[in-house]
Structure formats: structure tokens, C-alpha cells
Chains A and B, each alone.
Chain A
């Protein structure tokens, strides 16, 4: 079936602008994760959703970052007043964590490369 998809694949924005990054998880996956991959920092966890609620937001670097998930499916990561240090690849992953046949494997999307100029 279809994997995790993310859009846009690339985004170039000016410093101070707001951006929205979208993630479509694998159908039926209950958990959704956002990570950020930047040079020198590796992969950093940002936020985790179980259904539509976010039990763990501990990785969001500042209050300029927010995320929501609707219908237990699509998630949007919003960065307000972007800064150059926000430039990175933003990765989304989903997993099926509950119920029969649950799997703890996180399946990753291709990422959105964000460049703030």
C-alpha cells in the first residue's frame, strides 16, 4: 500500500515568514511522529501524536513550532516567524501501535527540506 507521504518536498522561505508542512501517514496507523534532521544535530524528535492528541511535545524547540493532527490522519507542522536555524529536513513517521497485529516499527516519509533565507 501507500507509504507515508509529505508535502512539499522542498520549501524555500524568507526569514520571518510562516510555513506549513504536511504529513499523510499510512492509512490506519494510530501514531504519528515528527523529527528534524539537520547537519551536525542528527535526527531530533519534535512531537508525537496518538490519534489526535499529542502526549509528548517535548521536542518542539520553541513556541514558534506547533503541530496538529485531524481525523486521526493528516498532520500539519507549522513554524511561525521562521529563522535560519530552522533550515533542516523535517521527517514524519507513522506506526501502528495498538491492537492485534500492532507493530512498533516507524515508517518514515521522504521528508520536507526547508530552507530559510
Chain B
């Protein structure tokens, strides 16, 4: 069965600094990969997704992620963090288009002035 690891439970960055959130997955083939963000008391919002093709994908709110097959990783990046980016970030994988997602435990991002 597939699994997702987000090694960092909590990350604190300064506003304006760059950000990278790590995600590693375990699956025998190339899965469908997603990053979601959850603000306090809110549902999950899709930031970006990877199905195939260009391994660098652009998402909303200035986020991007890069799929690296050799490392089984799909790390999320943002060049300059804003205070409004403080939230919980979840990486998720699916083995096809219509199967339930398997989520990582999440990484909580705090942004300081």
C-alpha cells in the first residue's frame, strides 16, 4: 500500500524567507501527487497537483512543487513567504484518478515577522 511521509511536523520561517516543505511517498509506480493547505477551522484547499509531464508544477498562491522520481519526493516550495501562508500543509497521493487519497501527517507552518 502507498504511504506518505512529511518529516517536518512544524516549521517556522520569517516573512519574506523562502520555504521548502518535504514530502516522500512510497509506491511502486508514479502516483498522482497533491499538496493541500488547511487554515485554522477551514477545509482543505488544493494548492497544486502532479499527474504526468513536466515535473515542476505551479500552483496557486505562488507555490510550486517538483516531482523527483529517483527520490520518491514531491517537495513544496515558495520563494517568499507571507504571513498569510501560516497554515497546515498536507501532501497526498492517489494511485489513480478515482481512488481515495493517502495523506501525510501534515506540516504546520508558522510565519514570524
Mark the stretch among B14-22, B44-52, B71-79 that contacts chain A: B44-52
- Cα–Cα, bound, A105→B100 (Å): 11
- Cα–Cα, bound, A31→B99 (Å): 9
Q: In the complex, which range does the number of interface residues on chain A fall in?
A: 20 to 34
A48's nearest neighbour on chain B, judged by CB, is B100
- Cα–Cα, bound, A110→B39 (Å): 10
Question: Is A95's CB within 8 Å of the partner chain B?
Answer: yes
Question: Is A12's CB within 8 Å of the partner chain B?
Answer: no
| Known interface pairs A42-B105, A104-B32; A91-B44 also in contact (CB < 8 Å) | yes
B44's nearest neighbour on chain A, judged by CB, is A108
Chain B 7-46 per-residue mask, 1 if CB under 8 angstroms from chain A, else 0: 0000000000000000000000000101010000111111
> Given the complex, which residues of B lie within 8 Å of A105, measured CB to CB?
34, 46, 49
Give the residues from 92 to 109 in chain B that come closer than 8 angstroms, CB to CB, to chain A. Answer: 92, 94, 97-106
Listed residue (A48, A56, A104) with the most chain B CB atoms within 10 angstroms of its CB: A104
- Interchain nearest-CB distance for A91 vs B (Å): 6
The answer to whether B100 and A45 have CB atoms under 8 Å apart is yes
- Cα–Cα, bound, A104→B100 (Å): 10
The answer to whether B42 and A110 have CB atoms under 8 Å apart is yes
The answer to whether B98 and A107 have CB atoms under 8 Å apart is no
- Cα–Cα, bound, A42→B36 (Å): 13
The answer to whether B103 and A106 have CB atoms under 8 Å apart is no
Chain B 49-63 per-residue mask, 1 if CB under 8 angstroms from chain A, else 0: 101000000000000
> Given the complex, which residues of A lie within 8 Å of B44, measured CB to CB?
91, 93, 108
**CB < 8 Å neighbour of A42 from B43, B98, B100, B106:** B106
Chain B contact residues, CB within 8 Å of chain A: 32, 34, 36, 41-46, 49, 51, 90, 92, 94, 97-106
Chain A contact residues, CB within 8 Å of chain B: 4, 31, 33, 35, 42-43, 45, 48, 50, 56, 59, 91, 93, 95, 97-98, 102, 104-111
The 5 A-B pairs of least Cβ separation, nearest first, read A104-B97, A43-B103, A97-B98, A45-B100, A108-B44
